[in-house]
Structure 1
Amino acid sequence: MDLTGARWRKSTRSSGGANECVEVADNLPGRVLVRDTKDRDGGTLAFGPAQWQGFVTFAKKIGPVA
């Protein structure tokens, strides 16, 4: 998967600490990418826009997980 055009941003829901951050790139057509900030080369998850929106909606509904 070619990620050269991905514009990564830190999730607004990530905590202030460096150990719990997620980055999202949603500027590529037809996919949303997610990676762990502390392990950027460790892998990237790819979602279709509808699947990503479903995840975000569900995550907002259940709230933070301790």
Structure 2
Amino acid sequence: MIDFSYATWRKSTKTQQSGQCVEVARVGEVVGVRDSKDPHGPVLVFRKGEFASFLNGATKGEFGDLL
């Protein structure tokens, strides 16, 4: 199990004041993603390469049809 208790969590600078956002943190070779409104809740864990691929796709607009 990966310990995110001492991780430095960050959220996008484009985050709105509504508070509906996610936070990310890197611990070793993995990236954790959590709901910023529930900091003690579950964390989704991805390998660095998986998360980089997701960010690349999001930047290119590959997920626009999901909305």
- Structure 2 vs 1, CA of residues 24 and 60 (structure 1 numbering), >3 Å: closer, same or farther? same
User: Structure 1 length as normaliser, TM-score?
Assistant: 0.77
CA distance in 2 between counterparts of 1:13 and 1:29 reads 26
Deviation at 1:3, TM superposition (A): 1.4
Partner of 2:7: 6
Per-residue CA shift, 1:3-47, capped at 9, x if unaligned? 1231111123432321x1111112x21001110001122210111
Highest Rg: 1 or 2? Answer: 2
Once superposed, which parts of structure 1, at least 4 consecutive aligned residues long, lie more than 3 Å away?
Answer: 63-66
Q: Which runs of 5+ in 2 are unaligned?
A: none
Question: Which one has the bigger helix percentage?
Answer: 1
Give runs of aligned pairs for residues 1-66 of structure 1, distance below 5 A. 1-18=2-19, 20-26=20-26, 28-62=27-61
User: Structure 2 length as normaliser, TM-score?
Assistant: 0.77
Deviation at 1:62, TM superposition (A): 1.3
CA distance in 2 between counterparts of 1:44 and 1:53 reads 17
CA distance in 1 between counterparts of 2:51 and 2:10 reads 15
Q: Are the aligned partners of 2:21 and 2:36 in contact in 1 as well (CA < 8 Å)?
A: yes
